[in-house]
Chain A
Amino acid sequence: KAGVTQTPRYLIKTRGQQVTLSCSPISGHRSVSWYQQTPGQGLQFLFEYFSETQRNKGNFPGRFSGRQFSNSRSEMNVSTLELGDSALYLCASRATSGTNYGYTFGSGTRLTVV
């Protein structure tokens, strides 16, 4: 079956702009999590959505937001971009029932803020 799809793969934005990243989970998975990965901070949890509701949120400013649609696809938005937002953004989908537990990650979106 198809894996987790993240688009776009690469983005270059200017400080002050906003950006929207997209994640399509594995078919049947209703949970989508977002992570920011940087060399200094490692993998940091942004938020998790389940059935269109935000279930958990990490310690990030309000400039970072997300949503999930009825088909489980998720988007995250970063407004007023800062240089420090340059990172690899990873999305993971998770089965929430059955024995096939675990998180499957997409290939990520590499965001560069200049």
Chain B
Amino acid sequence: AQSVTQPDIHITVSEGASLELRCNYSYGATPYLFWYVQSPGQGLQLLLKYFSGDTLVQGIKGFEAEFKRSQSSFNLRKPSVHWSDAAEYFCAVGPGNSGNTPLVFGKGTRLSVIA
């Protein structure tokens, strides 16, 4: 069965510092991978997604993620964090457009940003 592990429940970084959020997945087929961000009381906003091609994908808000098949990982990175990046981040694995299995989420990583 597919699963997603986000090992870090909570991360605190200083504004301007770099960020890496970890994500490991288990999926039987070729995975479609996603990172979403959620601000308090809000829905999920898609940051970026990966299906095939270049293993380094660029997303919105200056985020990028690298797919490493050998490590079953899809880590999210940002070179310089802004205070507005404080939120909860979810990694997810799921089918492509034509697939019929559900999107599976990790437990999330809460990011705090300090001055």
Contacts and interface: CB of A to CB of B under 8 A. Distances in A.
A90 B41 CA distance: 11
Interface stretch (A14-22, A71-79, A95-103): A95-103
B97 A103 contact: no
Looking at chain B's contact residues, the main secondary structure is: loop
Interface size class of A (residues with CB under 8 A): 20 to 34
B94 A103 contact: yes
Interface in B32-82: 32, 34, 36, 41-46, 49, 51
Given A97-B97, A103-B103, 17 more contacts: A33-B103, A42-B105, A43-B105, A43-B108, A45-B102, A45-B104, A48-B100, A50-B100, A90-B44, A92-B44, A96-B97, A101-B32, A101-B51, A103-B34, A105-B43, A105-B44, A108-B42
